[in-house]
Structure 1
Amino acid sequence: MNRLTLKDQLQKYRTPYEEEAAFIEGFIGLTDDPLAYSRERLAGHFTASAWIVNPQRTHTLLTLHRKLGRWLQLGGHADGNENLLEVAMNEAEEESGLKNLRLVETSIFDLDKHIIPERPHVPEHFHYDVRFLIEADIQEKLVISTESVSLAWFTFDSVVDMIGYNPSILRMLEKTSKSEILL
């Protein structure tokens, strides 16, 4: 997936979720800016995430993010890589230690634009997060990266209790539960 493929997928992307639909035009506009794939674009930049589920669609893998102190899907900065699918897969492997990840489909699974709080030497900014659906074996050994405090599989039923109210995670959970991809 390159910049043109991303733009094409975004132009074709449809969602019944109003909050997600409101992001699409902003994502499309960002694709032509080479700095959008780099942290140097301080107003906001692309990130890519992996919504990792087991093949039976009963569990999702979440990380307790070290800097943000919240349970989130795995993912990270593009750091100049315009292939956001590749970024998501690399981040998923790096942050989980999982070697047998399987991309469910190459199309975008979810979009989210969210604010990242100011930290020393980093102003408050937006992440334009492009997410992909990935499967993994729940029995495979997990390895916690330096970016995480913890890493765990959660049943779909327990996600809300563990994370509290996070509309984007709840949306991905709902999409997975309603997905035509269900076994």
Structure 2
Amino acid sequence: MHRKPLLNLLLNHQPADENEQRMLEQTIQFVQNHADCFERHLQIGHVTGSAWIVSPDRQKVVLLHHAKLDRWFQPGGHADGDPDVLAVALREAEEETGLLDLNVIGPGIFDVDVHTIPARQNEPEHLHYDIRFLLEAATDHPFIRTRETKDVRWVAYGEIESLTSEKSILRMKNKVIAKN
């Protein structure tokens, strides 16, 4: 079963709080019930992969200003049929930031989030079941700009709240701070 590796990762993930626990349970149920969970054509929702990219000193994180949603997020995107969500997170991080020397930190999932994507053009409102991995990159590599982003930058943890109040972003920030 192509979903088994992801289900194993999900079953071994330790959520940070009750909210993430609920989203983890939702994600497990979604993956178990939808063989096409990695496909964008599944209109109720689909699995996505994201990267929380930290600096070697763990004092900064890469955030990008999403052009369509006009909000700050971590790099990430659609699986487009790929059941290897870590590979998806790495690919999306490279495509959206230009960072090539990304190192995976830890053996499993860093964070799980379920969030609503608003309806746009030919796409109905749907859910993203986002599987997030902790990565590290050097801060001296230049970023690229893409049509999907308005800005990409290293953000110190103390500055994150000036860009976003997104609960999942703040949860991931707090996870890294707690590990240091």
Deviation of residue 124 (structure 1)?
A: 0.3
Could you say which residue in structure 2 is the equivalent of 1:114? 115
Deviation of residue 162 (structure 1)?
A: 1.7
Deviation of residue 16 (structure 1)?
A: 3.4
Could you say which residue in structure 2 is the equivalent of 1:34? 35
Contact 2:3 2:83 in 1 (8 A): yes
1:143-178 superposed Cα distances (whole Å, 9 cap, x missing partner): 112210111111000001122x11000000000111
Alpha-carbon distance in structure 2 between the residues aligned to 1:21 and 1:146:
34
Task: Mark the runs of 5 or more structure 2 residues left unpaired by the alignment.
Answer: none
Deviation of residue 15 (structure 1)?
A: 1.8
Alpha-carbon distance in structure 1 between the residues aligned to 2:26 and 2:156:
33
Alpha-carbon distance in structure 2 between the residues aligned to 1:31 and 1:106:
20
* 1:1-183 to 2 correspondences below 5 Å: 3-32=3-32, 33-163=34-164, 165-179=165-179, 182=180
Secondary structure at 2:76's aligned position in 1?
Answer: strand
The amino acid of 1:51's aligned partner reads W
Alpha-carbon distance in structure 2 between the residues aligned to 1:26 and 1:154:
30
Contact 1:3 1:83 in 2 (8 A): no
Deviation of residue 75 (structure 1)?
A: 0.2
Alpha-carbon distance in structure 2 between the residues aligned to 1:132 and 1:154:
18
1:113-143 superposed Cα distances (whole Å, 9 cap, x missing partner): 0000010100000000000000011111111
Contact 1:112 1:128 in 2 (8 A): yes
Alpha-carbon distance in structure 2 between the residues aligned to 1:44 and 1:5:
19
Alpha-carbon RMSD across the aligned residues, in angstroms, is 1.1
Contact 2:119 2:126 in 1 (8 A): yes
1:7-58 superposed Cα distances (whole Å, 9 cap, x missing partner): 0121222223111100122211222423110111111110010001101011
Alpha-carbon distance in structure 2 between the residues aligned to 1:38 and 1:85:
16
Task: Mark the runs of 5 or more structure 1 residues left unpaired by the alignment.
Answer: none
1:65-124 superposed Cα distances (whole Å, 9 cap, x missing partner): 011000100000000000000000000001011111111123000000000001010000
Contact 2:15 2:24 in 1 (8 A): no
Contact 1:52 1:134 in 2 (8 A): yes
Name the count of aligned residue pairs.
178
Contact 1:106 1:132 in 2 (8 A): no
